[in-house]
A = this chain, B = another copy of it.
Amino acid sequence: MISQTGEYALRAVLYLALHQEGDPVSVETIADDLSMPRNYLSKTLHLLAKRGILASARGPRGGFELAVPSDRLSLFEIVEPFDDLEGRGQCLLGRPECSDQTPCAAHHRWKDLAQRVSTFFRETTVDDLIAEMNAGAGPAAGNGSEPG
């Protein structure tokens, strides 16, 4: 559904949201904790920083942190730099133009689902995932630091 890179982005941002208190978190730490390739993650997070989603700082006590409140950060914003979630690639049969006016054979049956997927990414926030995590873990659960 989403690329490996988009998945890294999602998991890393969720991790940052769960470690918001205190200093920024280094790529090293995130990559170790989430078992991701360090330098590749570095590039991925750098792009999110350029998009204004993360803030980055170099040097000692540097690292990455959220630049947007987690309750206003949608999954769409996180994944969109790496995966084309709407527009092209919406048409199941790959047509450049596919609309109600110029539908492909699958359009009418597919568009509702495609729309739901799009809406999911646009309307689900990082906070929603954290809330879901905490709810799912139950009232007698652990420390809640295992996002994905």
Q: Which residues of A are interface residues toward B (Cβ below 8 A)?
A: 1-2, 4, 7, 10-11, 14, 89, 92-95, 103-110, 113-114, 116-117, 120, 124, 128-130, 132-133, 136, 147-148
Judge whether B116 and A113 touch: CB under 8 Å.
Answer: yes
Inter-chain contacts of A129 with B (CB < 8 A): 105-106, 109
| Beta-carbon nearest neighbor of A94 in chain B | B7
Q: A95-B148, A105-B133 are in contact. List 19 more A-B contacts (CB 8 A).
A: A1-B1, A1-B92, A4-B94, A7-B94, A10-B93, A93-B148, A104-B148, A105-B130, A105-B132, A106-B124, A106-B129, A106-B132, A106-B148, A107-B132, A108-B132, A109-B132, A110-B120, A113-B117, A117-B117
